[in-house]
Amino acid sequence: MSFIDIINLTKQYNSNDVQTMALDHVSFSLDEGDFCVVLGQSGAGKTTLLNMLGGMDSPTSGSITVDGTDISSMGERALTQYRRNSIGFVFQFYNIIPNLTILENVEMVARFGGKNFNPQAVLSDVGLGEKTHAFPQELSGGQLQRVAIARALCKNPQLLLCDEPTGALDSKTGQSILKLLMRMSRQYRKTVIVVTHNSSIARIADVVVTIKDGKTESVLRNNNPESITQIQW
């Protein structure tokens, strides 16, 4: 059995008698430790998919199974525990608390995890070991995204979900962030899903899922991923 199984996942929104199909029978599977890129243009349904994988939204129909557990049938209390213990989120905009130091930002999230990693050690792993007492306004955009990755990893989640993690960064900094995400995936054996509209990023992935108009256009397993240094955008 795969680590993640998504079967006929459908999400429909109703507003003022208008029905919007955000996801239309999306299906794919991932193995533990896969680095997956989900491609699609704005409005394709990528973020909706990520929100349901992260337990922040529920499908209209279909199922999501993560490590043998059907999260699509969970109640709100179980979903809260799932988000707390199993999911790490990395967003395009870093959502770092400005009046806390970098270490305090990471420590705050670590308190909620049952088997969390040492915050200082994770910050060192992402290259910020000497910045732990700095405040967010003292760091660059790339450094802040590293903080966000450390914060997501620190609670030792099963699944790392990244929504356009390089979208607000220049290409050089974006490459360094992707390299870091890939290294963290391999080092900590985490399944990582990166949502993006940038097709160049797909070349480094183990699995590439393309979403178009809410539907699965293709699911490709890449047996020979390229090095991050080989891609440009």
For residue 129, the domain's CATH number is: 3.40.50.300
The whole-number pLDDT of residue 231 equals: 77
Regions of the chain short of the pLDDT cut 50: none
Distance, in Å, from the CA atom of 75 to the CA atom of 151, rounded to the nearest integer, reads: 26
Contacts of 150 (CB under 8 A, 6+ apart): 106, 119, 122, 123, 125, 126, 128
pLDDT tens-digit readout, 15-55: 888 889 999 999 999 999 999 999 999 889 999 999 999 99
The one-letter amino acid at 157? P
The whole-number pLDDT of residue 103 equals: 96
The whole-number pLDDT of residue 233 equals: 63
Distance, in Å, from the CA atom of 54 to the CA atom of 33, rounded to the nearest integer, reads: 17
Which of 46, 2, 58, 59 minimizes the C-alpha distance to 210? 46
The residue to which tokens 């003292």 are assigned:
138
The whole-number pLDDT of residue 114 equals: 61
List strand residue ranges (DSSP E) for the chain, in order.
4-15, 18-30, 35-39, 61-66, 69-70, 87-90, 159-163, 191-196, 207-212, 215-221
Report helix, strand or coil for 65: strand
Distance between start and end Cα atoms, the chain: 36
pTM tops 0.85: yes
Handedness of CA 153, 154, 159, 165 (dihedral sign): negative
For residue 226, the enclosing domain spans 4-230
Distance, in Å, from the CA atom of 127 to the CA atom of 143, rounded to the nearest integer, reads: 9
The residue to which tokens 């896969």 are assigned:
34
Please state the domain count of the chain. Answer: 1
